[in-house]
A and B are shown apart, each in its own frame.
Chain A
Amino acid sequence: MSGEILYSVRDLVVEYDTRTGPLRAVDGVSLDIRRGEILGLVGESGCGKSTLGKAMMRLLPRNARIAKGELLFDGQDLMSLSEEQMRHVRGGKIGMVFQDPMTSLNPVQRIIDHITETIKTHKPDASDDEARERAEFLVERLGIRKDRLDDYPHQLSGGMRQRVMIALALALNCDLVIADEPTTSLDVIVEAKFLDLLRDLRDEFNLTILMITHNIGVVAEVADRVAVMYAGEMAEVGDVHPVFAEPAHPYTEGLLKSVPNIALDEEELYQMKGGPPNLLHPPAGCRFNPRCPYVMDICVSQDPPMFPVHGGGGVAACWLRDPERKRSESD
């Protein structure tokens, strides 16, 4: 796994226009995605992770806009591209897999039409036969019989449809696949198979995957690195093992503790107190402070910057990780 950075998000701010003023769903988020890795992006519903994923493709709903920040993909500034140039990036360079495979395929279009349409959009001179050949290769690789290509989406199972969505992302050898809760609507066994497949595909097609999920188990299973978001801000980023073994941010810690664990069924499940803040009026200082068990004076007045943790392998936005504070404590 090379350390080359494929996609770099810098200080991204995404605002929704609401009837009572702008709402910052993503507030100053920076994130680097390295080529060839699977990066898990976790957080509760509404923390801005899906908005971040959509913003990375510049596919925001009409009432949302990127207010600030840079999107650098493969050395290219996506913010400077025209809508037409951006269209070629979507599907051509960056693919997206959505949450609900039941509704992400056009019900009156056959599977093959979805794939050939995508191929021909980006490669206008590809012939029907070439497109069909590519489609057949892809679905067979993904474990779907090629005669199912002529079926309509409703004739396929949920797992098959999600594999079709992957095939659509692979149709043009995308570099990056943004998968937004791809397994949420699949049952457990199908989900496990799907995640295995995803990992194989990453190696085989040299993919980079951003896996957006609220399911920490999924991250543990497939991701190399993990990014934790809370209330529109990045809480912690780092390699999966150190983060899970020794979470640097109290929010990450709370997340991990509140996961039911069959092995420890005697213990009562940990419940984090409170709920996520109203993003129209976020709390001052660290946004997690109302729920944080370790809250300090500084937390309610100043927003923490990213501090290096785990010996420089990760970062966390928590005053507990402030090297100066540690020093003053040990004095």
Chain B
Amino acid sequence: MNSLLLLFVALGVPTLGVLVYALVTGSPGLRRHVLTRVALTIPMILILATVVFVVLRVLPGDPVTSSLGPRGNPEVREAMRDQLGLDLPIWAQYGRYLGSLFTFDLGNALTSGRRPVAVELGERFPATIELIVPAAIVAVVGGILAGTLAGSRRKSATDYGLRMFSVAIYAMPVFWLGLILQLIFAVQLGWFPVAGRIDPIVSGSLERVTNLLVVDSLITGNWAALGSALRHLVLPAATLGLILLGVFLRLTRVNVIETLQEDYVAAARARGIKEGVIVYRHALRNAMIPVITFIGLQVAILLAGAVLTETVFSWPGVGRYLVERIGLRDYTAVQGVVAVFAIFVSMISLLVDVVYSIVDPRVRY
């Protein structure tokens, strides 16, 4: 079993758990909703896989020429065409491609020793996870708190300040924010390392279990490695987290403002409930529901941001792998990354959606 498959098992088990929970305990309406949602996920993955196929195989541009260059050895070219199945009719290629996708066999890379793409991705996915999880936590927690603050004090100085901050953050290219943080905190102040995932000196001493370096160093009690891994993590995670924080801030703010105009808020005020309780218990809880749904969609932004952030900080994750392989014109690898992203995004969105329909008491079918 390759490590990529392992990752999807790790993601799939909780999804499956939630699905089973919803199907067993839910009302018939909820059950129907969940089943429809699952049924929609499969065509969604198929459509994305097809889009990837169309982009990489049908659009003009020949992978063999672009990977070997126009002067490539004819024998090598022929071998490569054969390996990629490019001589087959387009429908046969499509079938082969879908088949390989569902068996998690993404083919062998065209470059770097022709290792299986699935294995290479499996090695790199933990680094991406280690980057996006803390970033998401920073974004969601920070964004919701700041957004509530801004929304509950609409048109105050705090509100205008936070709104300007969120707009400014939104206007920043992710990679530029990364560069600036790098410039200030790594180059000028020297507080954090400029790039990389862990100090090479301690790297050797760290025993790899999950390939999540923070987790590995915690389990093995390797404190030097933990410190180094965390220090390397701060800037990339802050970069990615801050960009998303702006998005969550705006969304929460709008929802809090709308919720505070609801009748039940006026009714709560008329009962003498404290303003703080109204904002944080009544308004925030209701405003949170659309925000949580939104987290599902944000996974896409998170992954796109990860591609750029990983490039800036030389973070050895999937995003950087994608950029490297595009530079090398390694189409099998690119196709693999994009397909894996598609599956990842669809599964997360399924998970969020089902959790949401279980959590919100209002959802009726």
A165 to B262, CA, bound (A): 15
Nearest CB of chain A from residue B135's CB, rounded to whole Å: 28
A91 to B268, CA, bound (A): 9
State whether the Cβ of B361 lies closer than 8 Å to any Cβ in chain A.
yes
* Interface 9-mer from B41-49, B233-241, B269-277: B269-277
Q: Are A122 and B264 in contact (CB under 8 A)?
A: no
Contact with B along A80-97 (1 / 0, CB 8 A): 000000011111100110
State whether the Cβ of B71 lies closer than 8 Å to any Cβ in chain A.
no
Contact with A along B335-365 (1 / 0, CB 8 A): 0000000000000000000000000111010
Instruction: Specify which chain B residues have a CB less than 8 angstroms from the CB of A165 in the assembled complex.
Output: 267
State whether the Cβ of A258 lies closer than 8 Å to any Cβ in chain B.
no
State whether the Cβ of A100 lies closer than 8 Å to any Cβ in chain B.
yes
Q: How large is the interface on B (under 10, 10 to 19, 20 to 34, 35 or more residues)?
A: 20 to 34
Q: Are B362 and A107 in contact (CB under 8 A)?
A: yes
State whether the Cβ of A106 lies closer than 8 Å to any Cβ in chain B.
yes
B360 nearest CB neighbor, chain A only: A108
Tell me which of A89, A98, A118 contacts B273 (CB under 8 A).
A118
Q: Are A95 and B361 in contact (CB under 8 A)?
A: no
Number of A-B contacts (CB under 8 A): 73
Nearest CB of chain B from residue A88's CB, rounded to whole Å: 6
Q: Are B285 and A108 in contact (CB under 8 A)?
A: yes
A91 to B274, CA, bound (A): 11
Q: Which of A161-209 contact B (CB under 8 A)?
A: 165, 168
Nearest CB of chain B from residue A131's CB, rounded to whole Å: 14
Q: Are A118 and B271 in contact (CB under 8 A)?
A: yes
Nearest CB of chain A from residue B174's CB, rounded to whole Å: 34
B259 nearest CB neighbor, chain A only: A106
B362 nearest CB neighbor, chain A only: A107
- Given contacts A98-B270, A105-B264, 8 further A-B pairs with CB under 8 A are A100-B263, A104-B264, A106-B286, A107-B264, A108-B289, A118-B273, A121-B277, A168-B267
Q: Which residues of A contact B (CB under 8 A)?
A: 57, 59, 87-92, 95-96, 98-100, 103-109, 117-118, 121-122, 152, 154, 165, 168
A-B contact pairs, 27 of them (CB 8 A): A59-B270, A87-B272, A90-B271, A91-B271, A95-B271, A96-B270, A96-B271, A98-B263, A98-B267, A103-B262, A103-B264, A104-B264, A106-B268, A106-B282, A106-B286, A107-B264, A107-B361, A108-B289, A108-B360, A108-B362, A109-B285, A118-B271, A118-B272, A122-B272, A152-B361, A154-B361, A168-B267
